[in-house]
Amino acid sequence: MNTQHERLLQRIRYVASPTLARFHGSDAFYRGVMGPVGSGKSTAMCMELMQRAQRQRPGPDGLRRTRFAVVRNTYRELADTTLKTWLDWFPEDLFGRYNQSGMTHAVRFGDVRMEVMFRSLDRPGDVKKLLSLELTGAWFNECREMPKAIVDAMGDRVERFPPQRLGGCSWAGVIMDTNPPDTDHWWYRLAEEEQPRGWAFFRQPGGLRDLGEKAEGQRFVPDPRAENLANLPEGYYAKRMAGKPADHVRVYYCAQYGSVQDGRPVFPEFHPSVHVAREPLRAVPGSCLHVGLDFGLTPAAVFGQREPGGRWLWLGELVAEDMGMTRFARELHRVLAERWPGLEVLVHGDPAGGQRSQVDERTPFDILRAGGVDARPAPSNDPLLRREAVALPLTRMVDGGPGLLVDSKCRVLIKGMSGAYRYRRVELAGEERYRDEPDKNRYSHVCDAAQYLMIGAGEGGAVLGRSDGPRPARAENHYQPFRRRS
């Protein structure tokens, strides 16, 4: 590299923090960094791509060719944050022209020929286009917003450029950065539980430390291990935590796993400390097992029983993603046979499942029956009635305890009931207003299934005042309970 280009790169003053230095030193095929806001994650990703481009083996003509994809979940965030960070470090007048229509930066200096393609996932055909690229490497910015399937598929698109005739890849891989996701996210599962070979995760310390709810005085205090403070205004985190909810501070400033809910919970009556069982729940022998179903490509089921005294037990959940109804029916039949053999079973599903498919004219209920599960439409699909059929047992006391208990293994259901299943805020200046229907997300399906369970089992009648309390399921339905087909 000639002296002119050396002076060009010397204008970039970048000193990696301890965590980010370990990230740069790793050659793992998949590498991820998690940390608080302001910790320098995005800058580190930019520098990593540039360093890899400079270290690329030259081709026969002496040029070092690389091609990278930079991916964000939405176009607006890509344009407003990721792209601006990149061009701030590598401006067009020094490193080459950025093509707005193609969203590609052609970096040219010395012997480096680097192509950086910026892509989002919120436009029709974006995912398909991502999966047809031939790349050296890829960077997922704010990776907690990315489906795991996209990250996996991207791994199949890297190490394809440059071809061997132009030198081949000296390095290839997928790098990722993110603020902390929730504990039921794929990032947490891989980083904290499975730790698969070929993956390396790096966790930065938070800017603040959480002393806990019982701390005397201030709960959140500066963390002496915080990184990148030299590039932040004095008191950066302490200023920003004022007026923020504790969950926001824990996730964005303390760098702890968790979620920040923007919206109004559908079930504010639900309290995990009250309604989540401390011990595993066991089915009541001889009592009917009720099952609620929600359909679609993210089908879900919730399994529950009502004790003789009136308390509801939600014993289990079955949550699927990208699964057709035929496969889900087989899985549901298997779970019922293995976990609750011999019990009478009543299955209620979303009444919209009675609509016939345009492909084979079968309804989801037809497919379930063919798979050995005799499911029926729930008595009603009224959103208010469904919500109250769950809210009523949540506020009921039975024998000195809560009227509804959830098994602690129902992780997605508990998360949804705790607030992830919510009404989205309507963007209106000066007032808080929410949509009438809950937001559709990965938690809504299992919570909908729980509502179909309860309204199918008779709680809808209690809401409407047709009884002083829950009535037996047989009195609420005009058909007899059935047993699973073997």
Summarised one tens digit per residue, pLDDT across range 377-403 is 999 999 999 999 999 999 999 999 999
Q: In this predicted structure, what is the pLDDT of residue 193?
A: 93
Q: Which residue has the higher pLDDT, 123 or 420?
A: 420
The DSSP 8-state label assigned to residue 141 in this structure reads: S
Q: Round to whole Å and give the CA distance between 56 and 59.
A: 9
With vertex at residue 147, the alpha carbon angle to CA 192 and CA 173, rounded to the nearest 5 degrees, is 70
E runs forming strands in 378-432: 397-398, 401-402, 404-406, 422-426
Position 284 pLDDT exceeds 70: yes
The residue behind tokens 């009917």 is 288
The residues facing 54 across adjacent strands are none
Copy the structure tokens of residue 197: 């070979």
CB 10 within 8 A of CB 156: no
pLDDT of residue 476: 32
pLDDT band at 86 (very low <50, low <70, confident <90, very high): very high
Condensed to tens digits (0 to 9), the pLDDT of residues 286-318 reads 999 999 999 987 899 999 999 999 999 999 999
Comparing 125 with 448, the larger pLDDT belongs to: 448
Structure tokens at 297: 């490509």
Half-sphere exposure of residue 98: CA atoms within 13 angstroms, side-chain side? 16
Considering the chain, tell me which residue range(s) the CATH 3.40.50.300 domain(s) occupy.
3-203
Which residues of the chain form CATH 3.30.420.280? Answer: 272-476
Residue 432 has pLDDT above 60, yes or no: no
The CATH topology of domain 272-476 is Nucleotidyltransferase; domain 5 (3.30.420)
Question: Quick one: average pLDDT of 238-247?
Answer: 90
**CATH of region 3-203:** 3.40.50.300
Q: 204-218, 233-247, 253-267, 414-428 — which one is most confidently predicted on average?
A: 233-247
Beta strand 312-319 with 397-398: parallel, antiparallel or unpaired?
unpaired
Report the sign of the C-alpha dihedral through residues 124, 127, 129, 132, in that order. Answer: negative
Confirm if 370 and 359 have CB atoms less than 8 A apart. Answer: no
Helix (H, G, I), strand (E, B) or coil at 173: strand
Name residue 228's amino acid.
Answer: N
Which pLDDT band holds residue 12 (cuts at 50, 70, 90)? confident
Helix (H, G, I), strand (E, B) or coil at 431: coil
C-alpha of 13 from chain center: 35
* Whole-Å CA distances, 25 to 1, 44, 178: 23, 12, 19
Which of 107, 79, 113 lies closest to 93 in space, CA to CA? 107
Averaged pLDDT for residues 394-417:
94
Give which of 419, 132, 370, 393 is closest to 260, Cα–Cα.
419
How many angstroms separate the CA atoms of 477 and 384, rounded? 20
Give dist(CA 459, CA 472) in Å, integer.
9
